[in-house]
Amino acid sequence: MGQRKWCLVRQLGQIEYREAYQLQKKLLQQRLESRIADTMLLLEHPPTITVGKSGKLENILASPAKLASAGVSLIFTDRGGDVTYHGPGQIVGYPIFDLRERNRDIHQYVHNLEEVLIRTLADYDIKSGRDHNHAGVWANDMEIAALGLSIRRWVTMHGFALNVNTDLDHFTLINPCGFSNKTAASMAQLLGRELPLAEVTKRLLARFVEVFDVDLIWDEPARESDYERQTATLV
């Protein structure tokens, strides 16, 4: 067996999209230069619509004035995919991973991210799965987690957004991921109750350890008491 890799976890709380983007770019460069280990950023964004590299403006269903009145920012970005929404109540994960150390296999990386989300949802008895034509995770034919990535010289940035307690009304402002005939779902909607984000994050990180075969270290030592370090277990 090969030696397990380390992954640094940084929990940022709620942070503006542009600020998180600049941090990702900085960390990507550091990872390219092997100055840091693989890193996972976990955070929330204030209400924000992002348009990916293949995004179409017709998938934004609200006028700029309506977006402004709703307090929703609009940002064009370099991730893959179409239009998506970020907001409070989501768990957003941005892994800065060096795929040169993971067989340069982008498809397996995407599959693994989806698997982490599928297993996390299963911990709450939510059955979910993949659409093999589009990255993301679906429950009851509704998108419950979006994926959008950017890869530079085999190092990843951007990532996933899992709807936990998200305000689904904001998804009516867009065609999520470009689908005019699909809607978004959240864990709270499907379960009929809100969930503590810290609890769901704990489950997600345990599944992340399991799927990616990594040991976790925390950027802020005070956080370690809240989560399993290294081999995570579930009860």
pLDDT of residue 228: 39
Active site residue 177: yes
Sign of CA dihedral 16, 17, 22, 25: positive
In Å, what is the CA distance from 205 to each residue of 8, 118, 137, 181, 235?
12, 13, 17, 32, 14
Distance (Å, whole) CA 128 – CA 142: 9
Query: Model's pTM, two decimal places?
Result: 0.89
**Does residue 67 have a pLDDT over 80?**
yes
> Domain 5-226 is in which class?
alpha beta
Which of the following is catalytic: 164, 177, 184, 190? 177
pLDDT in tens, 108-143: 999 999 999 999 999 999 999 998 888 899 999 999
Inter-axis angle of helices 197-212 and 106-122, nearest 10: 140
Task: Return the domain boundaries, the chain.
Answer: 5-226
Residue 45, both tokens? 């964004």
Mean pLDDT to the nearest integer, 220-226: 43
